[in-house]
Structure 1
Amino acid sequence: MTTSDQDRAMATGKWIAAGSVGLAVVGFMLWAMGAFTPAVPVEETQQQAFERQCRNKIEALVNAEFMGTSDLGVRDEAITNRGTLGYDGVSVQFLDNCSYKVTSFVEAPNGFGVTVRHNYTAVLINDRERNEWRLESFEALPR
Structure 2
Amino acid sequence: MAFFMVLLTAAIVVVVFVVCTAMATKRGSETNIRITLAAGAIAAVMVWVWYFNWSSSPERDREQVEKDCNNTTMAFVMSQNFVKQRLKAPSTAEFPYITDRGVRVDIMPNCSFAVSAHVDAQNAFGAAIRNQYTVKMSYNRASKMWSATDLNIQ
TM-score, structure 1 normalization: 0.61
Corresponding residue for 2:88?
A: 74
Change (3 A) 1:74 1:63: farther
Structure 1 residue ranges (4+ consecutive) displaced by more than 4 angstroms after TM superposition:
none
Aligned mates of 2:89, 2:122 — CA distance in 1: 10
Corresponding residue for 1:8?
A: none
Could you give the per-residue CA deviations for residues 95-138 of structure 1, whole angstroms, max 9, x where no partner exists? Answer: 12210000011111223332100110000101011010011221
- 1:50-89 aligned within 5 A: 50-71=65-86, 73-79=87-93, 81-89=94-102
% identical equivalent positions? 23
| Alignment partner of 1:103 is 2:103 | no
Bigger radius of gyration: 1
- Aligned Cα RMSD in Å? 1.8
TM-score, structure 2 normalization: 0.57
Number of residue pairs the alignment of both structures matches: 97
Question: What's the offset of the Cα at 1:44?
Answer: 7.2
Q: Is the Cα–Cα contact under 8 Å of residues 66 and 76 in structure 1 kept in the other structure? A: no
Structure (1 or 2) with the greater helix fraction: 2
Q: Is the Cα–Cα contact under 8 Å of residues 120 and 131 in structure 2 kept in the other structure? A: yes
- 1:1-143 aligned within 5 A: 45=59, 46-71=61-86, 73-79=87-93, 81-141=94-154
State the AA in 1 paired with 2:88. Answer: V
Q: Where in structure 2 are there 5+ consecutive unaligned residues?
A: 1-56
Question: What's the offset of the Cα at 1:78?
Answer: 1.6
Q: Where in structure 1 are there 5+ consecutive unaligned residues?
A: 1-42
Moved more, 93-102 or 47-56: 47-56
